[in-house]
Structure 1
Amino acid sequence: MGRWWAAPASNPISSNWCVLRQRSKVELPEGLTAQEMAALDEYLHRLRQEYGDQVVRVVLFGSRARGDAGPRSDTDLLVVVKTDARRTHRPIEQLGTEIALRYGLTLSELIIGPKRYQKLQRYRPPFYKRIEAEGIDLWTRTPAS
């Protein structure tokens, strides 16, 4: 299967998004299993198909991003959405649960809206600093979209 990468926004498959695909610029950590890569790929594909207009950014962070995950480590994802409304967050959480159950992994989504994201950017707590330092952008909406 080859290595997986986070694709540039110029990827012809998804002109306004960065998504997991082969042949790109940002390499994902060696420690991800084929099952984890498949789960992330399906999660991002379905997220784009079902909620793409609501999602701004998806970041892999934590031990999976650092490449030091153990067999019981979860897969941490920061999902930034356009609204603070919980009704937008719940379906995305349900998608994560569905993918986690299908692939037999623990997917931990931190879904935040613009107000909380702006607070994190402004106050830069240690948790946010770690996400920014170690995180891998899997999906970023380009300014044009």
Structure 2
Amino acid sequence: MDEFVRRALEKYRDRIDEIILFGSVARGEAGEDSDIDILVIGDASLEELVDISFPILLEQGEIISAKNMDKGHFDFLVHEGYSFIRNVLEEGIILYERMGEAFGESRREAKVSKSSI
């Protein structure tokens, strides 16, 4: 996981706003065969993320399931209260954040949206 973040930032730092760990690893419930779920918010394509994660699988045996989403789409889904995004916001661990407040603002919005549903 650390190697994925390092390589992603090495190649695409200027195009990545946030990298968030979510799922069973973030919850501390991962089993021996669990994959590592990572959401990359920014303009890095899924193909670019696979180009990073596949060599890590071959080298270290870590299965990284990277998902990508641009910031505008992420903010829209936060505002609409989509359950996947709510889960990421509630259980996610920020591995990288370009702007100090970006994820924090989205997290606050999600809690407001969730409480008004």
TM-score, length of structure 1 as denominator length: 0.63
Q: Give the SS at the match of 1:52.
A: helix
Q: Give the SS at the match of 1:142.
A: coil
> Which 5+ residue runs of structure 2 have no aligned equivalent?
101-117
Q: Which residue of 2 aligns with 1:101?
A: 58
Q: 1:118 aligns with which of 54, 59, 75?
A: 75
Following superposition, the deviation at residue 121 of structure 1 comes to 1.3
CA RMSD, aligned part only? 1.7
Q: Give the SS at the match of 1:79.
A: strand
Q: Give the SS at the match of 1:71.
A: coil
Q: Give the SS at the match of 2:14.
A: coil
8 Å CA contact 2:17–2:71 kept in 1: the answer is no
The correspondence of residues 24-35 of structure 1 with structure 2, limited to 5 A, is none
Q: Give the SS at the match of 2:33.
A: coil
Q: Return the alpha-carbon distance in structure 1 between the equivalents of residues 50 and 72 of structure 2.
A: 19
Q: Which residue of 2 aligns with 1:141?
A: 98
Q: Return the alpha-carbon distance in structure 2 between the equivalents of residues 92 and 73 of structure 1.
A: 19
What count of residue pairs does the alignment treat as equivalent? 100
Higher percent of residues as helix: 2
Say whether 1:59 aligns with 2:20: yes
Following superposition, the deviation at residue 92 of structure 1 comes to 2.2
Following superposition, the deviation at residue 132 of structure 1 comes to 0.5
What percent identity do the matched residue pairs reach? 30
- AA aligned opposite 2:86: K
1:23-65 Cα distance to aligned partner (Å, 9 max, x none): xxxxxxxxxxxxxxxxx22211111111100000000000000
Q: Return the alpha-carbon distance in structure 1 between the equivalents of residues 17 and 62 of structure 2.
A: 24
